[in-house]
Amino acid sequence: MSNNDNMEEVDNSSNSNNENEMEKGNLKGLNCDQPLSSGTTIKSLWRDGKYHKAEVIEHKFDEELKLWEYYIHYFEFNRRLDEWVTEKNIQLISENSEVVEKKVEPHPSEGRKLTRSLKRQRDETTHGTPVAEEDGQLSALEKQHEEITKVKNIETIELGRYEIDAWYFSPYPEEFAYCKKLFLCEFCLKYMKKKKTLVRHKEKCQLRHPPGNEIYREDSLSIFEVDGKKNKIYCQNLCLLAKLFLDHKTLYYDVEPFLFYVMCECDSHGCHMVGYFSKEKDSPDDYNLACILTLPPFQRKGYGKLLITFCINLYNNYSLYLL
């Protein structure tokens, strides 16, 4: 074989290696002992079979797979689609590629009303302080909340006959807070780590509807009024469940000042929750709605619109009663 042939073979081998590197997406640095740092821009393989630009939020090491896992936020998508991915599914953005401009979203305190919980915290900590100082303290509260809730802690829940993907962080007690899957009783909303615990609980649970007064019924649809003071545990469980699907909800345990209106589909087995709204018993700002949620399996069926209509009528009737 001639020297030229040998040179051609080396060139071909080199080209082949380069092609393989390109196919792997220049995964330089992903197989080393040190993980990618937070804020690193990458491309990640999404469920549509395409790579999408994303930012690394957090990382952890999977002892079973012996791989780094990364919690990432896709620039193109809502935060509820943030997820954990393994290093096998990501590509580094090469130095020569175009610079990715990160979306600059307005700070949570800009352009929206404060949640009631944050407003109360602000009022407690800023009474009598200058406006500039108030804004600084409010910003600190918002940043603290954002830091705590930036990584989704529970992946899925089982509620009745549905298995539902969680969207956001929810502050369940530490023992339950980092389970990949939680099992919930659909009637009392108690949460458990194991299916067999749920099965045993269902044999003993006597609730077949929310623990309050039924104030509306039409065909198979009912709405129950639940007092946060009289049924504190149920309402706390309801708020923890709701936080899995609401990004900016900050009320979890301080439920006593609130009334909860839980909408259910009813059948021979009981009343199955589809959504709810809450309102303060005595609102100093005359708010008639604190929080509203339709669970994902029941969305796009008109339940949200019905809850809002019911809330407005309830407020109007209450106002007439006061007159």
pLDDT in tens, 41-77: 999 998 898 999 999 998 888 888 788 889 889 999 9
The closest of 120, 201, 191 to 153, measured between CA atoms, is 191
pTM of model > 0.75 = no
Q: What pLDDT does residue 320 have? A: 38
Q: What pLDDT does residue 33 have? A: 65
pLDDT in tens, 144-170: 656 677 888 899 999 999 999 999 999
Q: What pLDDT does residue 21 have? A: 40
- % pLDDT > 90, the chain: 48
The closest of 244, 245, 246, 260 to 211, measured between CA atoms, is 260
Mean pLDDT of 118-139: 51
277 in Cβ contact with 311 (< 8 Å): yes
Token pair for residue 276? 């709810």
Higher local confidence (pLDDT), 237 or 81: 237
